[in-house]
Structure 1
Amino acid sequence: MTSEHAEVQVRPGVEGDLEALTDLYNHYVRETPITFDTAEFTPEERRPWLLSHPEDGPYPLKVAVDTDSQEILGYATAGPFRGKPAYVTSVEVTVYLRPDAGRRGIGTLLYQALFEALAGEDVHRAYAGIAQPNEASTRLHERFGFRYVGTYREVGRKFGRYWDVAWYEKALRGS
């Protein structure tokens, strides 16, 4: 990408990334309230998720890779916001970084690539739900023009307590 981030390449996710992506996600399942999944996944269980993010279409998967080691540092995705037909032009976006990959601009690179991919799609709005507290994610989304629209209070229970989720939206086209 830029010379400032020359050690990181952002590319579409591919099937060969499945194990590393599953391991990365499972960290958040085990250790954090960032995702409300509560049981770890095997790569085979995550395969349908990976296949739901083709290179073309409104649900891309972008992967950040260390150019020297080829290790995955993080990923960003867009997915369906809700399952009903009228929501088809809305997507939910998310970013996950390896725990040691924060504060290097990788989330920014991933979102730049994701929103570039979405620019050519028939997508009207992007939404992001951020389990609270998560200042880094809030700052990233605000930097990309997301605006706060509300909080679902105590909407998820994990690790024996309830968590709030703040919702953000971003106009993508036609707004």
Structure 2
Amino acid sequence: MTLRFAGQGDVPALLAVYQHAIPTSITFEYELPSVEEFARRVDSISRIYPYLAAEEEGAVTGYAYAHRIAERAAYAWGAELSIYLHPSAAGKGLGARMYRALMDLLRLQGVRTVYGLVASPNPASERLHASLGFRVMGVQRNAGYKNGRWIDLLWFEKAIAPCDVPPAPLTPIGMLPGEQVRAILDRP
């Protein structure tokens, strides 16, 4: 299994993974985005944050990315993590590996706290977050309506760096030292 940064050429494969989540409440989107819209999202996120693809035998089996938790300036040092796996890749440790890589990259960038928003119930995602040291910080009740029911969102959080000194501006992902990035992505 190889972890690497996703690029525009991966968009169709990423969408093929994401389409499995559309009928579920894992995502609150009702319809699969167009290739153009998804390409715009990948490009926008990748300018600052890591957007990872997992590849096995030439096929993308999952992807994970981070983005700013909220837009105001003071939120710059928090990031929300998202992950989507092809059903055939679930339950094999890939989610934990991708989340660990995201957190290590984000720490290098200067992020202090990461968050996971999980539509509940989602036992697999809840276990993943708990196993990586996240704690539930709250429940957003009836946050979305999909598939004929109201869905709660569990908010998970994890500190990945201390908040004991004023932060420097976030380092864009493309400006991190290549050898450190490669070491993170190559770690099993």
State the SS of the aligned residue for 1:49.
helix
| Match 1:63 to one of 53, 59, 82 | 53
Matched, 1:28 2:28: no
| Match 1:50 to one of 42, 49, 58 | 42
Tell me, in whole angstroms, the C-alpha distance in 1 between the residues paired with 2:95 and 2:112.
22
State the SS of the aligned residue for 1:18.
helix
* Matched letter for residue 136 of structure 2: Y
State the SS of the aligned residue for 2:33.
coil
Matched, 1:12 2:19: no
Higher relative contact order (CA 8 A, sep 6+): 2
Matched, 1:88 2:76: yes
Structure 2: stretches of 5+ with no match in the other structure: 164-188
Tell me, in whole angstroms, the C-alpha distance in 2 between the residues paired with 1:119 and 1:83.
19
| CA drift at 1:23 | 2.1
Q: How many aligned positions are there?
A: 163
* Matched letter for residue 63 of structure 1: A
Matched, 1:115 2:103: yes
| Match 1:40 to one of 32, 35, 42 | 32
Structure 1: stretches of 5+ with no match in the other structure: 1-7
- Percentage of matched positions with identical amino acids: 36
* Matched letter for residue 77 of structure 1: Y
Tell me, in whole angstroms, the C-alpha distance in 2 between the residues paired with 1:72 and 1:143.
24
Q: Is the 8 A contact 1:10 1:109 kept in 2?
A: no
Tell me, in whole angstroms, the C-alpha distance in 2 between the residues paired with 1:123 and 1:109.
19
Tell me, in whole angstroms, the C-alpha distance in 1 between the residues paired with 2:36 and 2:20.
17
After TM superposition, the score normalised by the length of structure 1 is: 0.88
* Matched letter for residue 83 of structure 2: V
How far does the alpha carbon of each residue in 1:79-125 deviate from its partner, in whole angstroms, 9 at most, with x for none? Answer: 11011111111110011100111111111121122122112112111
| CA drift at 1:53 | 2.9
Q: Is the 8 A contact 2:103 2:114 kept in 1?
A: no
State the SS of the aligned residue for 1:120.
helix
| CA drift at 1:129 | 0.7
Tell me, in whole angstroms, the C-alpha distance in 2 between the residues paired with 1:44 and 1:26.
15
